């Protein structure tokens, strides 16, 4: 019988690491295939931890084994929380995404010694003027009549190129977190991988607005009027950038629209690559429809969304695309340059991006 190896770890460190990464005792117990009572005993120093269990914890928290023997605890910088229900505990996957984002931002800086270029001089403008001025800085025309996925990719690439702000995706697995941004020497935006492209598109510019206001944010991105002042500002910025009021009026006039039924709303949403709800809110804010009309639309929209969710089946995923989006185009580009220079190895790429060798090879050797 194979002899089990025990390791001596400070009990308080085990407890603090679990709490930092947002896991409950029950979740850790399940991962270690033991009981919650034993986890409590381990965290009190009443039971030893096996090497096998330690390796499972390191994998769960996505950290190195060395961290468990550190004299000091890692501290994630605080991201301002703008969720609707801030009392609700964050999903562990969000903590993991934050840790990954901070790591990738540091990695990008170490590879390039470059910092993000944020036009902070615009931060005192109102949301509408900020959106107009920001478009000029990006030097990009309004993208229309393209699939939402294509529009999203073009805007992501533009932001990464012009602002040196990586945009990555992560399966956040949280109903109350749509996206978040981190403000620092290298700013970074994280979108929810599980969202539809038109939702990611709005989330992207909502988070850009936070960065332009000199802060990061953890957001539910509720589109309703009753949002907080900051979130309302970011929503109006994103709406004006993606669906400019003047351009929307032209589209409505060109189509001679007077009544906005589902077909008309769907058509306009397709023009700009945004969700129907964003179009309805623009129509509400521009006084084309009443609040009662919007409320009725929202009720029906949510019913259709729930029905569509129930019908959703398993779809084969393009894993090359998934892992590319999780790393982000900017980070992959800079890692490829560093790899070609001989500054980093393929093993470094695999470790940094947490991907399999075949994808790492594709990204840096292709």
Q: 278 and 236, same structural domain?
A: no
The chain-wide mean pLDDT, for the chain, equals 89
| Residue 6 · residue 12 · CB < 8 Å | no
Give me the helix-helix angle, 92-112 and 329-341, nearest 10°.
40
Instruction: Determine, yes or no, domain membership for 53.
Output: yes
Contacts 24+ apart (CB under 8 A), 46-50: 48/6, 48/7, 48/8, 49/6, 49/7, 49/9, 49/14, 50/4, 50/5, 50/6, 50/7
| Residue 334 · residue 114 · CB < 8 Å | no
Q: 237 and 278, same structural domain?
A: no
Instruction: Determine, yes or no, domain membership for 194.
Output: yes
Instruction: Determine, yes or no, domain membership for 298.
Output: yes
Instruction: Determine, yes or no, domain membership for 195.
Output: yes
Q: 237 and 283, same structural domain?
A: no
The pLDDT, as a whole number, for residue 313 is: 59
Q: 184 and 87, same structural domain?
A: yes
Instruction: Determine, yes or no, domain membership for 313.
Output: no
Domain's final residue, options 221, 242, 263: 242
107: pLDDT strictly greater than 50: yes
Domain's final residue, options 69, 90, 122: 69
Residues with Cβ within 8 Å of residue 181, at least 6 apart in sequence: 79, 187, 188, 189, 190, 207, 208, 210, 211, 216, 217
Instruction: Determine, yes or no, domain membership for 1.
Output: no
Q: 186 and 283, same structural domain?
A: no
Structural domain containing residue 11: 6-69
What's the whole-model pTM score? Answer: 0.82
Residue 49 sits in a domain whose CATH number is 1.10.260.40
Q: 104 and 86, same structural domain?
A: yes
Instruction: Determine, yes or no, domain membership for 196.
Output: yes
Per-residue pLDDT of 196-252, as tens digits, reads 999 999 999 999 999 999 999 999 877 765 568 899 999 999 999 999 999 999 999
Instruction: Determine, yes or no, domain membership for 253.
Output: yes
Q: 224 and 98, same structural domain?
A: yes
Number of domains composing the chain: 4
Mean pLDDT along residues 78-96: 82
Q: 93 and 224, same structural domain?
A: yes
Per-residue pLDDT of 317-353, as tens digits, reads 899 999 999 999 999 999 999 999 999 999 989 988 8
266: pLDDT strictly greater than 80: yes
The pLDDT, as a whole number, for residue 76 is: 61
The pLDDT, as a whole number, for residue 156 is: 97
Q: 326 and 270, same structural domain?
A: no
User: Pairing state of beta strands 167-170 and 188-192?
Assistant: parallel
Residues with Cβ within 8 Å of residue 209, at least 6 apart in sequence: 127, 130, 233, 234, 237, 238
Domain's final residue, options 16, 42, 69: 69
Rounded CA separation 144/274 (Å): 10
1: pLDDT strictly greater than 50: no
Rounded CA separation 360/355 (Å): 7
| Number of Cβ atoms within 10 Å of the Cβ of 185 | 12
Q: 222 and 84, same structural domain?
A: yes
* Token pair recorded at residue 108: 């990008």
| Residue 212 · residue 122 · CB < 8 Å | yes
194: pLDDT strictly greater than 70: yes
Summary count for the chain: helices (H), strands (E)? 17, 6
Q: 98 and 224, same structural domain?
A: yes
Q: 188 and 267, same structural domain?
A: no
């Amino acid at each position: 019988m194979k002899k089990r190896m025990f390791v001596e770890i400070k009990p308080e460190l085990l407890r603090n690491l679990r709490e930092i990464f947002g896991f409950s005792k029950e979740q850790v117990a399940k991962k270690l295939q033991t009981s919650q009572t034993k986890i409590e005993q381990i965290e009190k120093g009443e039971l030893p931890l096996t090497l096998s269990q330690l390796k499972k914890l390191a994998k769960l928290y996505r950290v190195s084994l060395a961290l468990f023997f550190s004299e000091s605890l890692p501290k994630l910088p605080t991201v301002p929380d703008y969720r609707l229900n801030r009392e609700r505990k964050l999903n562990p996957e969000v903590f993991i995404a934050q840790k990954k984002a901070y790591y990738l931002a540091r990695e990008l800086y170490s590879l390039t010694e470059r910092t993000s270029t944020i036009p902070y001089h615009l931060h005192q403008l109102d949301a509408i003027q900020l959106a107009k001025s920001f478009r000029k800085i990006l030097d990009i025309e309004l993208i229309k009549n393209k699939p939402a996925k294509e529009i999203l990719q073009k805007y992501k690439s533009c932001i990464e190129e012009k602002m040196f702000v990586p945009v990555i995706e992560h399966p956040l697995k949280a109903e109350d977190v749509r996206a978040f941004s981190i403000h620092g020497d290298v700013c970074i935006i994280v979108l929810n991988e599980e969202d539809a492209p038109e939702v990611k598109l709005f989330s992207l510019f909502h988070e850009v607005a936070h960065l332009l206001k000199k802060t990061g944010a953890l957001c539910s991105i509720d589109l309703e009027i009753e949002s907080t002042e900051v979130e309302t500002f970011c929503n109006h910025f994103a709406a004006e950038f993606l669906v400019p009021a003047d351009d929307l009026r032209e589209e409505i006039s060109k189509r001679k629209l007077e009544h906005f039924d589902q077909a008309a709303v769907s058509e306009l949403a397709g023009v700009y690559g945004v969700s129907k709800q964003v179009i309805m809110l623009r129509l509400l804010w521009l006084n084309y429809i009443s609040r009662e009309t919007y409320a009725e639309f929202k009720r029906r929209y949510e019913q259709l969304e729930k029905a569509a969710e129930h019908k959703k089946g398993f779809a084969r995923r393009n894993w090359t695309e998934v892992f590319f989006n999780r790393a982000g185009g900017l980070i992959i580009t800079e890692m490829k340059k560093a790899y070609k220079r001989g500054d980093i190895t393929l093993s470094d790429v695999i470790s940094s991006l947490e991907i399999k060798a075949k994808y790492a090879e594709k990204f840096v050797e292709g």
